[in-house]
């Protein structure tokens, strides 16, 4: 066996380099083909509020500095690594440089100037984002409870604790969500009855915690041109087992549409409530107890001709409801929400025989069961 020169790479190493090169080429091709998508993924979504646009401008400034600093420093690292190999058998010491005061002062001062600049521009944006209009067009209180959002619309002279004109209890869907007039400033109050939540709409580039025991507030200004748009929002602070289901929608509508909608909601809230259904509702009464965020039964059986749920919410201060879903997840019946301790009768109209799921829509991950209709 001849002794190959030590410097010739082994066939294993050649295969390794070839594989690495192939992976590199595939990756490079993929990056080129998706360049636009990849570039956009380094930025937040297009901002849909005036405050969000200012935050986006600030993000772009910080991003430019970040990319330049990364390129310079990473470039220095890579260059040093490529340039300064120790060759085999080279036992000489390189120059034993212990430091250089001028260089060290330079790389202390330049970053100081950069971070002070970034601080000042971000402070300016902060003051603008945090500014509160003395005369907002609308005041809304978003209430975040485990695990559902509701939106209290407040009178013009309200503070965070004023009684609502009316409340939107469904956080999503065409009849629910946070409906806001585009082109007007909305002042939002945030209130939590239980744990900390956070109001977060990615397209506003903004979030604010909803802290029990205090009321946070901020202004939200959606440009008039965005009327008709819907934005998704979501709780951003871990609030328990149902954290991920705390979704909501923001509907931006034109001021005229908003006025029509608001008048209709106020009229509905002021209308004399229909007489409470008497105890003589059709069908038998089925008792169901909600306690410690659990139902006492996970299987119910009821006649197809209609029945009444005798609902006993024993959880002090916690809202529950009773919802029936079919196999496809569509809502067949939904009761009003009651906050414990309270007992109520929910008359359920006749529904076709079959197997359904029942749940508390506020705590669907914890309170659910099977309803068999015969």
Partner 1 sequence: MATTTLTPAASAYRTGLYEWLTTTDHKKIGILYIVNSFIFFFIGGLFALGVRTELAQPGLQFVHDELLYNQLFTMHGTVMIFLFIIPMLVGFGNYVAPLQIGAPDMAFPRINALSFWMLPLAGILLLMGFLTGGAAQAGWTSYSPLAQDRPLASTGPGEDLWIMALLLIGTSSILGGINFLVTIFKMRAPGMTMFRMPILVWTVLVTSVLVVMATPVLTSALIMLFIDRNYGGHFFDPGGPNGGGGSAILWQNVFWFYSHPAVYIMVLPAMGMISEILPVFSRKPLFGYKAFVFATAGIGALGFSVWAHHMFTTGQVFLPFFSLMTFLIAVPTGVKMFNWIFTLFRGKLTFSTPLLFALGFLSMFLIGGINGAFSAAVPVDFALQDTYWVVAHLHYVLFGGSVFGVMAGLYYWFPKMTGRMLNETLGKVQFVLMFVGFNLTFFPMHQLGLAGMPRRIADYASDAGWNDLNLAATIGGFTIAASTLPLIWNVFSSLRAGKPAGDDPWEANTLEWATSSPPPPYNFDHLPEIRSERPLFDLRHGRTVVH
Q: Give the nearer residue to partner 1 in terms of CB position, either 91 or 157.
A: 91
Q: Give the nearer residue to partner 1 in terms of CB position, either 91 or 276.
A: 91
Closest separation in Å from C-beta 186 to partner 1: 17
Number of residues located near partner 1, criterion CB under 8 A = 95
Q: Give the nearer residue to partner 1 in terms of CB position, either 124 or 355.
A: 124
Check binding of 93 to partner 1 (CB under 8 A): yes
Check binding of 99 to partner 1 (CB under 8 A): yes
Site string for partner 1, 52-81 (x = CB under 8 A): x-xx--xx--xx-xx--xx--xx-xx--xx
- The answer to whether the CB of 150 falls within 8 A of the CB of 205 is no
The residue among 255, 223, 229, 224 whose CA lies nearest residue 137 is 255
* Cα dihedral 34→39→40→44 (10° resolution): 150
Question: Tell me, what DSSP letter sits at residue 7?
Answer: T
The residue among 306, 298, 281, 282 whose CA lies nearest residue 371 is 298
Write out the binding residues for partner 1, residues 327-346 only, by CB under 8 A: none
Question: Tell me, what DSSP letter sits at residue 2?
Answer: -
Q: At what angle do helices 50-83 and 101-130 cross, to 10 degrees?
A: 160
The residue among 103, 114, 12, 104 whose CA lies nearest residue 69 is 114
Q: Give the nearer residue to partner 1 in terms of CB position, either 192 or 308.
A: 192
Q: Give the nearer residue to partner 1 in terms of CB position, either 117 or 349.
A: 117
Q: Give the nearer residue to partner 1 in terms of CB position, either 206 or 261.
A: 206
Closest separation in Å from C-beta 82 to partner 1: 10
Start-to-end C-alpha separation, the chain: 87
Helix (H, G, I), strand (E, B) or coil at 326: coil
Check binding of 6 to partner 1 (CB under 8 A): no
Closest separation in Å from C-beta 185 to partner 1: 18
Check binding of 357 to partner 1 (CB under 8 A): no
User: Which two three-digit tokens encode residue 270?
Assistant: 């002021």
Q: Give the nearer residue to partner 1 in terms of CB position, either 266 or 343.
A: 343
Q: Give the nearer residue to partner 1 in terms of CB position, either 29 or 69.
A: 69
- The answer to whether the CB of 227 falls within 8 A of the CB of 254 is yes
Pairing of strands 354-359, 148-154: unpaired
Closest separation in Å from C-beta 293 to partner 1: 5
Closest separation in Å from C-beta 130 to partner 1: 8
147 — phi, psi (to 5°)? -135, 65
Write out the binding residues for partner 1, residues 289-318 only, by CB under 8 A: 292-293, 315-318
Helix (H, G, I), strand (E, B) or coil at 236: coil
* Binding residue (CB under 8 A) for partner 1 from 165, 365, 368, 369: 365
Give the whole-angstrom CA distance, residue 144 versus residue 139: 16
Using alpha carbons only, what angle is made at residue 143 by residues 140 and 145, rounded to the nearest 5 degrees?
170
Closest separation in Å from C-beta 328 to partner 1: 16
Question: Considering only 103-111, 260-268, 279-287, 299-307, which stretch makes contact with partner 1 by CB under 8 A?
Answer: 103-111
Closest separation in Å from C-beta 95 to partner 1: 6
How many residues can be counted in the chain? 374
Question: Tell me, what DSSP letter sits at residue 274?
Answer: P
Check binding of 18 to partner 1 (CB under 8 A): no
Check binding of 17 to partner 1 (CB under 8 A): no
Write out the binding residues for partner 1, residues 229-268 only, by CB under 8 A: 232, 234-244
Site string for partner 1, 190-209 (x = CB under 8 A): ---xxxx-x-x-xx-xxxxx
Give the whole-angstrom CA distance, residue 173 versus residue 147: 16
């Amino acid at each position: 066996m001849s002794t190959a020169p030590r410097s010739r790479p082994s066939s294993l190493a050649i295969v390794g380099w070839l594989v690495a090169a192939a992976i590199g080429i595939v990756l490079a091709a993929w990056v080129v083909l998706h360049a636009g998508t990849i570039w956009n993924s380094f930025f937040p979504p297009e901002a849909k509020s005036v405050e969000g646009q200012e935050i986006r401008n600030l993000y772009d400034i910080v991003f430019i500095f970040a990319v330049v600093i990364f390129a310079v420093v990473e470039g220095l690292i890579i260059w040093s690594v490529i340039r300064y190999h120790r060759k085999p058998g080279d036992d000489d010491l390189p120059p034993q440089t212990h430091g250089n005061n001028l260089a060290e002062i330079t790389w202390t001062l330049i970053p100081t100037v950069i971070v002070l600049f970034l601080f000042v521009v971000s402070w300016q944006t902060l003051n603008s984002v945090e500014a509160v209009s003395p005369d907002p067009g609308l005041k809304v209180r978003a209430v975040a409870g485990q695990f559902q959002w509701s939106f209290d619309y407040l009178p013009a002279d309200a503070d965070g604790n004023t009684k609502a004109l009316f409340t939107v209890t469904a956080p999503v869907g065409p009849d629910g969500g946070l409906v806001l007039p585009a082109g007007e400033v909305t002042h939002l109050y945030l209130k939590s009855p239980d744990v900390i939540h956070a109001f977060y709409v990615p397209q506003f580039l903004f979030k604010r915690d909803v802290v029990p025991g205090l009321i946070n507030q901020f202004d939200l200004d959606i440009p008039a041109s965005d009327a008709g748009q819907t934005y998704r929002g979501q709780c951003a602070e871990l609030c328990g087992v149902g954290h991920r289901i705390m979704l909501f929608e923001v509907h931006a509508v034109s001021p005229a549409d908003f006025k029509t909608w608001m008048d209709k909601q106020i009229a509905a809230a002021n209308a004399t409530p229909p007489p409470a259904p008497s105890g003589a509702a059709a069908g038998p009464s089925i008792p169901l107890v909600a306690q410690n965020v659990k139902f006492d039964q996970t299987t119910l059986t009821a006649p197809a001709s209609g029945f009444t749920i005798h609902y006993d919410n024993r959880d002090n201060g916690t809202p529950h409801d009773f919802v029936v879903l079919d196999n496809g997840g569509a809502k067949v019946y939904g009761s009003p929400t009651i906050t414990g301790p309270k007992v109520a009768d929910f008359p359920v109209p006749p529904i076709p025989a079959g197997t359904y799921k029942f749940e508390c829509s506020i705590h669907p991950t914890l309170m659910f069961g099977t309803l068999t209709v015969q």
